[in-house]
């Protein structure tokens, strides 16, 4: 009788356990749609990727399910694409561009010119001396045209050059060209790349050269 009672209580306890506790965790089916589907009537959902994200099977699945716009995280920035003048390394950028072509996903170009991840050859000579403004601009134009022409079939848009073309009022950099032109005693003025001077934002309006476009 005692044994029968214990058996009955054990069966009752098992019956009260949640299904997951009895049989282990339930398998959650892989979703068939993502953020891009939820917002398809409003706007595109984008993601920045590196060359590994477009070859790793698990990451590829997530990218294709969730996003319908892609940006190269670093592969299309100045130094990764042209570490030396005329010496281009297209492998990583090509991989991302080919992924977008294969899956018909618009590729938004990354910044064509930036204060960071820029190779020294673009603004200084082999001895470390700053180039003239004309040489610097010629190097920028050479680089920008090479990148734009290579990916113009797949890149849907490019951001304007930033923060190079947003200086000196949004982010007063250490450029001797701009200091000379605008007579800005910048060396003692620390700045952050968020576009603020320590001590507040400058009051002058944006400079018209922010809209410079290389043709």
pLDDT for 55-97, tens place per residue? 999 999 999 999 999 999 999 999 999 999 999 999 999 999 9
Three-state secondary structure call for residue 140? helix
The CATH-assigned architecture of domain 32-159 is Alpha-Beta Barrel (3.20)
Taking CA atoms, 88 is separated from 102, 135, 143, in Å, by 23, 19, 10
pTM above 0.85, yes or no: no
The parts of the chain modelled with pLDDT lower than 70 are: 1-24, 159-215
| pLDDT for 7 | 52
Instruction: Give the pLDDT confidence score for residue 27 in this predicted structure.
Output: 79
Closest-CA residue to 82 (of 117, 127, 111, 131):
117
Domains in the chain: boundaries: 32-159, 167-200
């Amino acid at each position: 009788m005692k044994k029968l009672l214990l058996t009955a209580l054990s069966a009752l306890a098992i019956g009260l356990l949640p299904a997951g506790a009895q049989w282990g965790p339930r398998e959650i089916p892989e979703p068939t749609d993502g953020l891009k589907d939820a917002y398809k009537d409003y706007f595109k959902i984008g993601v920045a990727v590196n060359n590994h994200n477009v070859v790793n099977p698990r990451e590829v699945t997530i990218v294709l399910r969730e996003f319908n716009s892609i940006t190269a995280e670093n592969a299309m920035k100045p130094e990764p694409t042209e570490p030396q003048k005329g010496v281009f390394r297209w492998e990583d950028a090509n991989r991302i561009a080919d992924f977008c072509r294969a899956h018909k996903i618009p590729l938004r170009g990354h910044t064509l010119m930036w204060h960071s991840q820029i190779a020294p050859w673009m603004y200084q000579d082999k001895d470390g001396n700053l180039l003239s403004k004309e040489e610097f601009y010629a190097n920028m134009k050479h680089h920008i045209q090479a990148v734009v022409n290579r990916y113009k079939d797949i890149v849907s848009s490019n951001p304007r050059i930033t923060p190079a073309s947003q200086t000196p009022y949004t982010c007063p950099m250490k450029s001797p060209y701009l200091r000379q032109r605008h007579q800005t005693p910048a060396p003692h003025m620390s700045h952050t790349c968020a576009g603020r001077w320590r001590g507040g934002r400058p009051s002058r309006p944006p400079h018209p050269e922010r809209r410079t476009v290389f043709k």
